[in-house]
Structure 1
Amino acid sequence: MSSNTLNDEFFGGEKASGLQTFDAFPKTRQTYRVPSSRGGALTVVLSLLCIYLTWHELLQHLDGTETQSFGVEHTIGHSMQINLDITVAMACDALHINVQDAALDRVLAGEILKKESTSFDDTSAHRLVAIGDRPDHVYDVMARAKKSKFGKSRRRPAAWLSREDRSSCRIYGSMDVNRVRGDFHITAKGHGYETAGGHIDHNTFNFSHVVNELSFGELYPKLINPLDDVTATTDERFFKFQYFLTIVPTEYYSETNGRSLLTNQYAVTEMSRPVSHYRVPGIFFKYDIEPLSLVVTEHRTPFLRFLIRIINIIGGVLVSGNWVYKLVDLFAEYFRKKKRSMDGMINGRLGGSHKD
């Protein structure tokens, strides 16, 4: 007996019907394979819906979701680091730098911070403007939050400058202060504090300045603060620049990788004006620390769960589309039958009237 005969006998008759009954993958009915404009339109709509939902899920996966919560700040009274990089349009020998806080402690900032002669250049700076909500996400903040020390000035080194170009002073560095309300100020020697050498000539006063960096906490140069690259100029000799800063201790936490970052955000308002010769001109940064802390938590969907969600979206859209197609087909068939019955009744009436 040939192999073909054996195959026919084995797969024919009752054996074949038994295998067909056991088949777990039913085949598409022949009537469903007939192309139609309605089916083509539904296919296009479902494809666009799948693309939109997939794109929306991808954006959520990349951006993540963030929640903000406030809590009581427990570190009031401890030390805090101030990072400063500012250029003032006066000679370094004519400036006096101090910090005085609510605890009546005084920090001789001029002996801690570094000073170097430089030129005054505000071409890359901007005026202080209102800053809205920060668009930065936790992931972006942590990516830029790398510890660093103050690098070299973006201006030309003092050795390259002529005597005329050394008329300004760059003040930069970090210092520790009490974590309480305080006042950090830059004034002229002999004004505000008694110092050796007497008063400085008033005609040399020019408190125009450029703030390259002003932050609180550990120094992260790539994080943007409200006063970074801000300039303020004046033609008045006796002029008082005042910045009122409200500091909010902030923690960024990522649930995806478990990393956290402690830093300080601040909001700033300016109130500057000319003053009389009996007042103290200068640059004043008055800061206050909120008793609340902000916690910004980020959550991103793991990649495997993201793939499962995409598969569920596509599968759900296809199944829902199949139901919609069947319902549309059912209603279309119902209205077709109703129309045929109505047409039959009309034709019957017209035929009866002709016979009469």
Structure 2
Amino acid sequence: MDSIINRLRSLDAYPKINEDFYSRTLSGGLITLVSSIVMLLLFISELILYLHAVTETKLVVDTSRGETLRINFDVTFPALPCSILSLDAMDISGEQHLDVRHDIIKKRIDAHGNVIEERQDGIGAPKIENPLQRHGGRLEHNETYCGSCYGAEASDDDCCNSCEEVREAYRKKGWALSNPDMIDQCKREGFLQRIKEEEGEGCNIYGFLEVNKVAGNFHFAPGKSFQQSNVHVHDLLAFQKDSFNISHKINRLTFGDYFPGVVNPLDGVQWTQETPSGMYQYFIKVVPTVYTDVSGHTIQSNQFSVTEHFRSAEAGRLQSLPGVFFFYDLSPIKVTFTEEHVSFLHFLTSVCAIVGGVFTVSGILDSFIYHGQRAIKKKMEIGKFS
């Protein structure tokens, strides 16, 4: 039995030092105190990381097809009235949304930024007071109103009962409405008078667009847009102005839903126009992003980066359409953020590494100080130090 015990003792990888050889020092006590504090702080930080979720980031190829992209916007134009401001969207697939009105709200604001009126897009409902009929006569008491489209009718049965309907009919034909006062509906509704009344006002326009998930652009510009010889143009003659101030502030612009940690670089961006007219352009690279929280809830969204450019209407050059343009393109790479908790085994391993690392470094430091002090003491004893 004793031989077995002796053999087991010979396998001891942790030989013990007799207590008679222990020497406790002041420096060793200080190092022990400091190392204990360090170990405690590191343990607390590791515990916090363990209790809170960490986010893992991955890059994968975006293979999604047939999806739509939601663009949320809130833009203020301090010197462009709501009555002349329009929104268009188009993409490389050929789909166009001209003079977008659904899901759009406009706020009229004065020179001080105070809200005057909030309304859906549009000039307003017509006031039918003995209006001109399509056949040329005036509306009789027992007659149904059917206003003329002034040559822009698509068929004999078409009616344009408001100024907006006449402008829409002209837009579909690719015509510009040069003088609204020649149109009975526009004159009756006070189209030009309304524009003059809003002179000096600004407009806050906000809402969202649902577009195809392909490269495209959307822009805010004065006038109603239409296609003329396959060219996108805006009817600016009706407003009888030579220049438009497109100074603007982007209160919010996002591609998709909010998720934790997202940074939208255009939020709060403001630009002031200093030239008579021009086109301000934002070139945006949209990166599809998937965020999954610790409970498994997934948010499909996007991040984006942007560069800016102002194109002025210089003399001797084709005049640029005044407006604010957002050109966006989609990255083929998708970013995924996944929240997850650190495993208990990882936490335990980290704690052991902290204790072992701090203990080892403290032991080396204590040994260095202890043997250094002994060497100095011996030299002093033999008289090498006076």
TM class, shorter-length? 0.5 to 0.7
| Residue 259 of structure 2 is aligned to residue 268 of structure 1 | no
Which residue of structure 2 lines up, in the alignment, with residue 72 of structure 1? Answer: 61
CA distance in 2, matches of 1:56, 1:194: 61
Q: What residue is the counterpart of 1:50 in the other structure?
A: 39
Aligned pair partner of 1:168 in 193, 202, 220 = 202
Deviations 1:6-44 (A, max 9, x none): xxxxxxxxxxxxxxxxxxxxxx98768975313322223
Is the contact made by 1:238 and 1:275 (CA closer than 8 Å) also made in structure 2?
A: yes
- Alignment match of 1:258 (pick from 275, 290, 296): 296
Q: 1:296 aligns with which of 318, 326, 337?
A: 337
Q: Please, which runs of 5 or more residues in structure 1 have no aligned partner?
A: 1-27, 122-154, 344-356
Shift of 1:308: 4.8
Tell me the alpha carbon deviations over residues 211-249 of structure 1, each in whole angstroms, 9 at most, x when there is no partner: 111111236799541111111111323111000000000
Structure that is richer in helix per residue = 1
Q: How far apart, CA to CA, are the structure 2 residues paired with 1:326 and 1:212?
A: 60
- Cα distance change of structure 1 residues 313 and 267 upon mapping to structure 2, 3 Å threshold: same
Alignment pair present for 1:40 and 2:29: yes
Q: Could you say what secondary structure the match of 1:262 adopts?
A: strand
Distance 1:284 1:157, change over 3 A: same
Question: Separation in 2 of the partners of 1:305 and 1:312?
Answer: 11
| Residue in structure 2 matched with residue 117 of structure 1 by the alignment | 108
Identity %: 27
Which residue does 2:88 correspond to in 1?
A: 98
Query: Compared with structure 1, are the counterparts of its residues 325 and 109 closer, same or farther at alpha carbon in structure 2 (3 Å cutoff)?
Result: same
CA contact (8 A) 1:77 1:180 kept: no
* Residue number in structure 1 paired with 2:249: 210
Post-superposition Cα deviations, 1:327-352, rounded to whole Å, max 9, x if no partner, equal 6799689979xx69x97xxxxxxxxx
Report the AA paired with residue 207 of structure 1.
I
Deviation of residue 179 (structure 1)? 0.8
The 2-side partners of 1:42 and 1:236 are apart by 70
Q: Do the aligned residues in 1 keep the contact of 2:28 with 2:366 (CA within 8 Å)? A: no
CA contact 1:67–1:298 (8 Å) conserved in 2: yes
Task: Tell me how far apart the structure 2 counterparts of residues 93 and 221 of structure 1 sit (CA, whole Å).
Answer: 37
Aligned equivalents of 1:279, 1:333: Cα separation in 2: 83
- C-alpha distance in 1, partners of 2:68/2:81? 31
Tell me, what secondary structure is at the counterpart of 1:57? helix
Task: Identify which of 215, 233, 255 aligns with 1:193.
Answer: 233
Question: Does the CA-based 8 Å contact 2:35-2:359 persist in structure 1?
Answer: no
Does the 8 A contact of 1:181 with 1:287 survive in 2? yes
- Return the TM-score normalized by structure 2: 0.58
Shift of 1:107: 1.0
Aligned length: 275
* Matching residue within 284, 287, 310 for 2:325: 284
Tell me, yes or no, if the aligned pair for 1:207 and 1:234 is still in contact at 8 Å: yes
TM-score with structure 1 length normalisation? 0.63
The one-letter amino acid of 2:57's match is Q
Counterpart amino acid of residue 89 in structure 2: V
SS in 2 for 1:272: strand
Name the SS for the 1:234 alignment partner: coil
Root-mean-square deviation over aligned CA pairs: 4.1
Post-superposition offset of 1:306: 8.5
Query: How far apart are 1:321 and its partner, in Å?
Result: 7.7
Q: Deviations over 1:51-91 (max 9, x none)?
A: 44235425644776544322121224421111111111211
Question: In the aligned structure 2, how far is the partner of 1:204 from the partner of 1:235?
Answer: 12
Work out whether 1:249 is the aligned partner of 2:288.
yes
Q: How far apart in 1 are the matches of 2:101 and 2:238?
A: 20
Give per-residue Cα distances to partners, 1:284-343, cap 9 Å, x unaligned: 0000111111112344436x668756864675468648965996799689979xx69x97
Letter in 2 for 1:167: E
- The amino acid of 1:115's aligned partner reads K
